[in-house]
Structure 1
Amino acid sequence: MKESKCLEFKSAITNSFLKTVSAYSNFGDGEILFGVNDDGSVCGIDNLEQVCLDIENKINDSITPKPDFEIEIDEIKQTIRLMVYEGQYKPYLYKGKAYRRSDTAFIEVDQAELKELVLLGSNLYFEELPYGKDNLTFQELTDKLMEKLNLNAVSEDILRTLGLFTKNQKYNNAAALLADENSFYGIDIARFGNSINEIRDRETIAGTSILKQYDAAIDMIKRYYQYEEISEIERKKVDLIPETAYREAIANALIHRDWSMNAHIRISLFSDKIEIKSPGGLPRGITAEEYVNGDISCLRNPILGNIFFRMHYIEMFGTGVRRILLAYNNAKVKPKFEITDHVISVTLPVITNQYHVTGDEARVIAALENGEQLSSSEIAKATGYTKSKVLRLIDHLKEKDYIRVTGKGRGTRYSL
């Protein structure tokens, strides 16, 4: 038995477990086993009944609001199991601070996470909060609705149906994000030359409708990654990067980002790829694996998501990543997804049917082309190279985003 994200061992009763209680109450169910060492070995606890009472009193006296928990005693092993359940009335604070799990430690949440917990505790999304200004105009939204939905006019009742008003009949943040002018950050687009020090073009679109931001981002791919090829009498459009994949990535960045963060979506254009970085990390309730597999089950901004869906900017909810991958089905180099607590990064490579590698790197690629996940030792055996040389070549191929790494230590495996 090992510690995990939802299981912690405590050999003794100290106040440090209260940070764990705060984290589990805020971010997901978890267990604490008292009387167990860090390595999983049982050391036991004396006076089990009194210790249970102490644990309960510490929680009730130190965590606000009161969390939902249960305590069980194992009299044979002399251990105590504390089960903490994610609560509805977030944030759950210990000494005025909220905590979350980070690897094997529990750390204080930052300001952005605290804001999100407060909204969750109020059963609200950021986009539902009142914007604070009533003099909003919606010409961009009106034009798009009339074009996409064949409407003759857009009335206030339609805006209300779309969810752009609070219960007090005030514009909410979703309305402001769709308005012609607002106070929100937007998209920062930069086109680079041979290095990030060589900026050939740059445009920042902020304080305006996200529909206008979307169109401006699409214009960039048309300008720099599309051209026409004439063959005899036929004129054919060529996409260096699939436009369908790019459209999905931009739409996802706009409707899934955390709009409470004062940061731009950053789009970096390179000769061989486009990088799209969206502030806010994953919405709560979604794991990185579920995101990459296209299994998104909840939206951070459901009002915006619904409007993008109605306008056909996105297909069914949760299919965006799969559509991106499908656009690269026959390409050698696939899209790359990187997820941290505060940023989702999507890299869309230029479509290519061949790897740009040295002769030595090509032998490593060939060893992996059957689709298997191999260890460095297995690659060394297949190529005839030493293991140290294989690891150097793998590092080079990782920099080119040609190789995927899974596992750690002796369980590390490599695949294309």
Structure 2
Amino acid sequence: MTIEEIKKGETEKLEFKREIPSKDSKLMKTVVAFSNRHGGRIVFGVDDETHEIIGIENEKVFRLMDALANMISETIEPQVVPRITFETIEDKTIVIVEIVEGQNQPYFLKAEGISDGVYIRVAATTRKAEYEKVKELMLWGERKSYDKIFEKHEAVSEESALHLCHAIEKYNKKNPVTLANLTSWGLLKEEDGKLFPSIAFRLLETGDIHFAQVQCGVFRGTDKVYFIDRKEYSGPIYEQIENAYNFVLQHINIGAKIEGLYRRDIPEIPEEAIRELIVNAVMHRNYLAHSYIQVCIYDDRLEITSPGGLYGGLTLEEMLQGSSSIRNELIADTFLRMGIVEKWGTGIKRIADLCREHGLDEVEYSATDFCFTSTIRRTRKDLFEPVVPKTSSELPDNDRINDRISDRLHDNDRINNGDDRLNDRINLSESEKQIFSEIEKNPFVRTEELASLTGVSMPTVNRAVKALREKGFISREGSKKSGHWLVLAQNQENNK
């Protein structure tokens, strides 16, 4: 531990305490959160607000270390074994509790049980894990992939199963695919002469899993206030990829290169990079999360956000170096067989090379426990021709199909594009924009956390939340304690 680290303040993996209180449940929640994430350190003898080194009295150091070890052992399950040491900085003694990422997740407080006692780390704060996060941690602890699970579900028809066989054949254009293949790969299982689907089969074929959708939107300016166009794509996830990919191509600028007697269109963002990022979002998202993949086009960037952060202890640095941790193993296997992906772990480097060759800045990646975001800056858009939106007759078949599926959005699009008075009614104040932005990033954020994240008072937060709900931007699903926000800006029905 260095003075420089202390001066930088608390982080996702670092917390300060002046001294150890007696039976501090908040302290134990942080130990649980570190065990359920990438680990971390708790430093005693440092003021968490001023970062001043207070120190621990020498005669109390070893007593403190013993008390910490006993408290952790007595209050947390499964067993957490911390590394507890002390150091001298500026002639003052500090005690450091180092927690490594646990291998038997989820960890929880014994007194609260596994249903209520699981905590995770969000930025520099500790918070209770929602049900979906607890379930994912349980699967990780059991080394299971959610998409391989066969939940209670009605049998699927042979016709439906054969449809997926033909879809895989169409993509790979190599070997025929049979029902026996789907069973041997784990997509289906046969019981009493009936075929039952895995989660992966349902995602690839039936499309009946709620929130397994891609929302696409084009916005005027650089934030999510004014829609220019939007679509929601459901159905088989490989079709969602194609539809989202085509949506982006329809709404970015196009340049041209003359090759001999022919003109070749060149999008401002490499097509392969767009497709790769969308594939990654669909393949690696957390399908337990109650939120959608969002593909957003702004004046200055393309932004793709996928529910669920990096999986299995993988860090952003490791990902950028080519490492990968597969959240949905069966979907990844199937995409590999279909030729949608070529090889695991190579996409990030390929995207970087494509953007570099195209003269674009490096892709920006960010990750939290709740989402993963990829951003490509539109730094060369002025070199390309303005996009001319295509009519529905010019779109690929999948787009026309999804136009029919999204009929309920069609009227709203016309209202939003044709009536400027609507934009006047949904104009947001600066505090409302800040609150809305934080809710978009984390639909599970609590109102008291919004005050801390935005730096505004609780009365201002409450007024902004009330205004956003009245204007139809957000709604609440579930209780105040365990519920979450629904972002409704893409469906302006409440704003009419």
Give the TM-score of the pair, scaled to structure 1. 0.71
Do the aligned residues in 1 keep the contact of 2:38 with 2:313 (CA within 8 Å)?
A: no
SS at match of 1:107: strand
Q: More helix by proportion, 1 or 2?
A: 2
Instruction: Report 1:238-387 matches (<5 A).
Output: 238-270=266-298, 273-291=301-319, 293-334=320-361, 336-341=363-368, 342-350=370-378, 352=380
**Cα distance between partner residues in 2 of 1:257 and 1:180:** 18
Match of residue 30 from structure 1 = 40
Q: Which residue of 1 aligns with 2:180?
A: 157
The alpha-carbon distance between structure 1 residues 143 and 193, as it changes in their structure 2 partners (threshold 3 A), is farther
- Most deviating of 132-141 and 251-260: 132-141
The yes-or-no answer on 1:142 pairing with 2:165 is yes
CA distance in 2, matches of 1:70, 1:198: 52
- Describe the SS at the equivalent of 1:334: coil
User: Deviation of residue 250 (structure 1)?
Assistant: 0.8
Give the AA of the match of 2:209. S
Secondary structure of 1:323 counterpart: helix
Worse overlay, 269-278 or 280-289: 269-278
* Residue identity opposite 2:202 in structure 1: A
| Structure 1 residue 74 displacement after superposition | 7.9
Q: Which residue of 2 aligns with 1:380?
A: none
CA contact (8 A) 1:138 1:178 kept: no
Point out the more displaced range, 120-129 or 64-73.
64-73
CA contact (8 A) 2:32 2:119 kept: yes
Alpha-carbon spacing, 1:147–1:93, altered in 2? closer, same or farther (3 Å):
same
- Alpha-carbon deviations, 1:57-114, whole Å to 9, x = none? 3223321233233445789987655443332322222342223334444333344433
Residue 99 of structure 1 aligns to which amino acid in structure 2?
Y
Tell me the distance in 2 between the aligned counterparts of 1:197 and 1:50.
56
The answer for the alignment partner of 2:239 in structure 1 is 212
Counterpart of 1:90 in structure 2 is 105
Is 1:64 the counterpart of 2:84? The answer is: no
Residue matched to 1:101: 121
Going from structure 1 to structure 2, the CA distance change for 1:326 and 1:167 (only over 3 Å counts) comes to farther
Cα shift at 1:209? 1.1
Cα distance in 2 for partners of 1:333, 1:34 equals: 46
Q: Separation in 1 of the partners of 2:287 and 2:142? A: 18
- Is 1:178 the counterpart of 2:201? The answer is no
Q: What is the match of residue 189 of structure 1?
A: 216
CA distance in structure 1 between the aligned counterparts of 2:378 and 2:65, rounded to whole angstroms: 60
**Alpha-carbon distance change, 170 to 48 in structure 1, aligned in 2, over 3 angstroms:** farther
Task: Indicate the percent of aligned positions where both proteins have the same amino acid.
Answer: 25
Please give the alpha-carbon distance, in whole angstroms, between the structure 2 residues aligned to 1:115 and 1:309.
27
Judge conservation of contact 1:9–1:36 (CA < 8 Å) in 2: yes
User: One-letter code of the match for 1:129?
Assistant: I
The letter of the residue matching 1:116 is: E
**For residue 99 of structure 2, what is the amino acid of its counterpart?**
V
Partner SS state of residue 56, structure 1 = helix
Aligned pairs, how many?
A: 354
Q: Structure 1's 242 and 355: CA in aligned 2 closer, same or farther, altered over 3 A?
A: closer
Q: Kindly report the root-mean-square deviation, in angstroms, between the aligned alpha carbons of the 2 structures.
A: 3.7
* 3-state secondary structure, aligned to 2:59: coil
Structure 1 CA distance for aligned equivalents of residues 93 and 377 of structure 2: 57
Work out whether residues 309 and 316 of structure 1, in 8 Å CA contact, stay in contact via their aligned partners in 2: yes
Q: Distance in 2 between matches of 1:241 and 1:140?
A: 34
Whole-Å Cα distance in 1 between the matches of residues 196 and 293 of structure 2? Answer: 27
Name the structure, 1 or 2, with higher relative contact order (CA <8 Å, separation 6+). Answer: 2
Aligned ranges for residues 122-141 of structure 1 at < 5 Å? 122-136=142-156, 137-139=160-162, 141=164
Residue 13 of structure 1 aligns with which residue?
20
The AA in structure 1 aligned to 2:181 is I
Asked if the contact 2:34–2:99 (Cα under 8 Å) also holds between the matched residues in 1, the reply is: yes
Match for 2:141 among 115, 118, 121? 121
Cα 1:329/1:33, change in 2 over 3 Å: closer
Residues 152 and 25 of structure 1: is their aligned pair in 2 closer, same or farther, counting only changes over 3 Å?
closer
Q: CA deviation at 1:247?
A: 0.8
Measured in 1, the distance between the counterparts of 2:225 and 2:123 equals 35
Q: Distance in 1 between matches of 2:382 and 2:256?
A: 22
Partner secondary structure for residue 82 of structure 2: strand
Tell me the amino acid that sits aligned with residue 101 of structure 1.
R
**Unmatched tracts of structure 2, length 5 or more:** 385-496
Q: After TM superposition, give the deviation of residue 178 of structure 1 in Å.
A: 0.9
Contact 1:256–1:299, Cα closer than 8 Å, also in 2:
yes
Distance verdict in 2 for CA 1:166–1:140, change over 3 Å: closer
Contact 1:274 1:349 in 2 (8 A): yes
Q: Distance in 2 between matches of 1:48 and 1:238?
A: 66
SS at 2:197 equivalent: coil
| Deviation readout 1:341-384 (Å, 9 max, x if unpaired) | 2232333455738789xxxxxxxxxxxxxxxxxxxxxxxxxxxx
CA separation in 1, counterparts of 2:300 and 2:163?
33
- Deviation string for 1:237-257 (max 9, x for gaps)? 332331111110110110111
